[in-house]
A and B are shown apart, each in its own frame.
Chain A
Amino acid sequence: MNQAAKKRLLPGFGLSMGFTMVYLSLIVLIPIAVLFLKAATLSLSDFWQILTDDRVIASFKVTFSSSLIAALVNTVAGTLIAWVLVRYDFCGKRVVDAFVDLPFALPTAVAGIALTAIYAPNGWIGQFFEPFGIKIAFTQIGILIALIFIGLPFVVRSVQPVLQDFDSQYEEAAATLGANSLQIFIKVILPAITPALLTGFALAFARALGEYGSVVFISGNMPMKTEIVPLLIITKLEQFDYAGAAAIATVMLIISFSLLFIINFWQWKQARKHQSVRGV
């Protein structure tokens, strides 16, 4: 009560809140609402028919399985990289740390053509797999590689601060009690970083579901095989099938919103836990 009254001493609440709501509504909320309205003009059976089309189901399978595997790979690799960056000193560490964010900064189309050039049958890495009949670019493996690239920083940046704050006295206690390094990692450190790992995983997964730019070049875009959902939405748009595009987009949006809600709830809960610990 006292706190709230004190905070209102500062000026500009009405103005800043008003501007925030107007801008948020105009740029984000109203356009999103229009999508839901468009989808709502479809009858339930039409909606169902669009979504159960073989090509649509196939694209959902490709998108979800690729995103899930890529996020899992990133969870393991991201934890390793965060660990190395926090716990060890080596030359060039600062540069390596900065480069982890490259996927955030590099435009997706650039990443897409670069990865394709590397993994195409005549590319730097692709040529070594070609003699064994293994194709990377233009298959689902290619999609996976693009999604691993795009999602890696999410896990590293979620886990890194938690590892940094982790009090080493627990590890020392475990070591004095005779635990080996692996036991310490699994029983002491892993439980402490699990919430951050889950957040990183969910962020990487959510990003992968909607990713378009880096995937379209390397995927080959074959319907039923390597066609991702965002590409299918564009295909429907180009055929002027606005209702179909809106229906698929609505399903994707609901999934994204659920993920966003879960992630924000986790982070909010973690922050509160953190605060209460610090408060004591």
Chain B
Amino acid sequence: MLPKKQTVHTSTKGKKQPAVASLTKGILISLALLFLGFFILMPLIIVFMEAFQKGIELYFLSLTEPDAVSAIKLTLLTAAISVPLNTLFGVVAAWAIAKFEFKGKNILITLIDIPFAVSPVIAGLVFVLLFGSQGVLGPFLEAYDVKIIFAVPGIVLATIFITFPFVVRELIPIMQEQGSEEEEAALSLGANGWQMFFRVTFPNIKWGLLYGVILCNARAMGEFGAVSVVSGHIRGLTNTLPLHVEILYNEYNFTAAFAVASLLALLALVTLVIKSFVEWRTRKAHC
């Protein structure tokens, strides 16, 4: 690992044409930073600028009014249901896929990827077609007075669908790389299945698991398109944070819209920090 890095250094800082090389380096770095500045950094900055434009008092007022509070609660509830379910699925499915050989494995992985490929709007649409009043199960649900579409269960279902692959896709390569020798050793030493999992498998995958869970959580709290289709936008009842941002924005209440948006931007920043931390941990573990 180390000698390879040294050769990279000598080649980039080669003796030939050092002036030209450093000029190219300067130009390329500037171009990359300029692009990132315009497309990535500026949107982030403007969210906070607009949110605090009319003072800190109005900012907190926008976050504490009843509709905003109920949107925060619903968003937390949605994530609290969908993230644990998809985490459980992720661990179980990754176990089956990474530790065993079977036919059709690549097909199974592709099927698991479907929610990544499907437009969020279509993800919402399928649940409307399934549970909506004109849907396949619509008459049945109506008979028992169960509401899924334009209600909280629909929002949760759509979110589970959208965030379905995050954890499992993160875990499969990690578990595959680990192989199964350690687990087999644990078993031969007399551990039962659960002991093997919690003492051997889990410590090996915990950072990857955390990585998948925070990405899953960020998407669950921030999902807009799919939730928008199934929610019905009932203020105070079926409004998640992103939907609340949309309503405020469409009412030209920009300051409040950006104030609520800044909460979600903060969530994104926290996600990035944890993500970088996990990446740093795993790199250290590899060295």
Contact = CB atoms under 8 A, between A and B. Distances in A.
Interface in B59-118: 89, 92-93, 95-97, 99-102, 106, 108-118
A10 B120 contact: no
Contacts of B128: 237, 242
B245 A28 contact: no
Contact of B272 (A10, A20, A98, A169): A98
A230 B225 CA distance: 9
A118 B43 contact: yes
Given A85-B32, A110-B261, A259-B117, 7 more contacts: A7-B99, A7-B100, A34-B129, A34-B130, A110-B222, A149-B40, A230-B119
A229 to B, nearest CB: 8
A171 B39 CA distance: 32
12 contacts: A3-B101, A29-B111, A31-B130, A34-B130, A99-B36, A106-B44, A107-B223, A217-B249, A234-B121, A253-B118, A260-B114, A264-B106
A109 interface: yes
Contacts of B119: 209-212, 229-230, 233, 249, 252, 256
Contacts of B132: 242
Nearest to A4: B101
Contacts of B50: 117
- Looking at B8, B106, B118, B243, the one whose CB has the most chain A CB atoms below 10 A away is B118
Interface in B161-212: 161, 164, 180, 183-184, 187, 193, 196
A45 to B, nearest CB: 22
Interface in A209-231: 209-213, 217, 229-231
Given A16-B93, A32-B114, A252-B122, A103 B99 contact: no
Nearest to A86: B8
A115 B249 CA distance: 13
B56 interface: no
B234 interface: no
A31 to B, nearest CB: 4
Contacts of A17: 96, 100, 102
Interface string A171-203: 110010000010000000000000000000000
Contacts of A31: 126-127, 129-130, 161
B187 A260 contact: no
Given A12-B193, A90-B29, A98-B272, A152 B46 contact: no
A212 B42 contact: no
B136 interface: yes
Interface in B211-245: 215, 218, 221-225, 228-229, 241-243, 245
Contact of A10 (B33, B112, B187): B187
Contacts, number: 288
Interface in B232-284: 241-243, 245-246, 249, 254, 257-258, 261, 264-265, 267-269, 271-273, 275-276
Contacts of B97: 20
Given A16-B92, A98-B275, A169 B7 contact: yes
Contacts of B25: 88
Nearest to B224: A213
Contact of A111 (B43, B160, B180): B43
- Looking at A19, A87, A107, A212, the one whose CB has the most chain B CB atoms below 10 A away is A107
A234 B225 CA distance: 10
Interface of A is mostly: helix
A101 B43 contact: no
Interface stretch (A48-56, A76-84, A132-140): A76-84
B117 A84 contact: no
A242 B129 contact: yes
B274 to A, nearest CB: 10
A38 interface: yes
A233 B122 contact: yes
Contacts of B129: 31, 34-35, 38, 242, 246
Interface in A9-31: 9-13, 15-17, 19-20, 23-24, 27-31
B146 interface: no
Interface string A97-140: 11111111111111101110110000011000000000000000
A80 B116 contact: no
A42 to B, nearest CB: 13
